[in-house]
Amino acid sequence: MVLEPFTGDGFFDHAMVGFTNVNSDTTKARSNNTRLVSADLIFPKLSMPFLTLGDLNIPHQSSDPIRTFKEDELAASVPYFDRATELGYSLLNTPWVDTRLSMSLVGRVGVIDLPFACPLLASYFSEWSDPLSSTGFNHIPIVPRFDAPIFRAPPPTHNWALTDWGPVDAALKSRVIPPPRPLPTLVSLGTWFDTSLNKVSAQVTLHTPIKRITHRSKPWGSASLSLLRKANSSALRASKEDRFDASLLASARAARSSYFKPINKAKRDDWSSFLATATPQTVWTAKRFVIGRPPPRFPELPGASTPLELNKALQDHFFPGDPRAPTNSILLPFKDCPVLVPGEVERAHVQSSPS
């Protein structure tokens, strides 16, 4: 089946999206280690986003890594997984989560309902979940979710450069990792290794802060506060549209209170945690936060309250004028020269005149 999705700009780069729902029965094909539906039909080679899902009946360690399978089961399922790997199909199941329930005591549960996404669709995959209850059948409805990568918030990551290794070293030295059991199998050894690695990693991540997503995000922010902010903004917009509706105004006040109280608590908790883990380098940052805005860098001069007065005061201080009174004639400083009379000035003017 091929669909033409009606989505917003930037979601799908392709006009068509295809998917197929397969129920591959094994009752008649178990004898010769085959399935009724071939791997070429389940995993076609297409140039558009394509999803394959259904009761495929191809048990494999990729979907159920802790189970031990029979040789005939693996011989029948390996060609399908080889075909999927060759074309770049990705298995979307969460490992170990059973999709088939047993309606009797003799039956066994398993992971046989599998969704596969081709490379053009795998980048849009967000999560796989089974939130729906059982339908009375022995299969659980599964819900794969897809969204656009450009609209998806990046997952939070740890800032390993700021790991506090003091408590981590103390916790790791006091923790004792039990050795694996004698003559372990491949599955038991892998389980022991994963369990031990998770115990060690948990101590490191516990003392490592989360990176800020953007330069505008706050260290005390969380997903719950983002939801409260959206609810507060929505209630505020609704109250502005109809200012005479008492119920909308009451909802806006309640949303505002529900939004700002958790924010203030998150700020106080983050500040207390920051002070409790302050280092000789970060203590100056805490001091700057407590003092607030630094004092002005320009000096305050008496009698100069405006920029012009401050400018004049600085000029008068660094470039003072001559304290003596200005002279009316440039000849007064030369006391040995005789004083000019009007006749001498007139004769000099006549001789220099062109007429």
Mean pLDDT of the chain: 77
Quickly state the pLDDT bin for 149 (edges 50, 70, 90).
low
The backbone torsions φ and ψ at residue 131, rounded to the nearest 5 degrees and listed phi first, read -75, -15
Query: Is the pLDDT at 201 greater than 80, yes or no?
Result: yes
What 8-state DSSP symbol labels residue 112?
A: -
Task: Specify the range with the lowest mean pLDDT, choosing from 110-124, 245-259, 311-325.
Answer: 311-325
Beta-bridge partner residues of 18: 2, 50
pLDDT value of position 54: 78
Instruction: Give the bridge partners for 125, in sequence order.
Output: 146
- Sorted by sequence, the CB contacts under 8 Å of residue 191 that are 6+ apart come out as 66
pLDDT score for 266 = 87
Distance CA 144, CA 93 (A): 9
Predicted confidence at residue 8, as pLDDT, reads 45
pTM of the model: 0.41
Q: Alpha-carbon distance 280 to 326, whole Å?
A: 63
pLDDT bucket at 6, cuts 50 / 70 / 90 = very low
Is the pLDDT confidence value at 9 over 50?
Answer: no
Q: Which amino acid is at 56?
A: L
* Contacts of range 111-114, beta carbons closer than 8 Å, 24 or more positions apart: 111/59, 111/63, 111/64, 111/67, 112/55, 112/56, 112/57, 112/58, 112/59, 113/53, 113/54, 113/55, 113/56, 113/139, 113/140, 113/142, 114/53, 114/54, 114/56, 114/58, 114/63
18, 3 contact by CB (below 8 A): yes
Return the pLDDT at 1: 46
Average pLDDT of 119-137?
72
User: Please, which pLDDT band fits residue 259 given cuts at 50, 70 and 90?
Assistant: confident
pLDDT cut 70: percent of the chain above it? 76
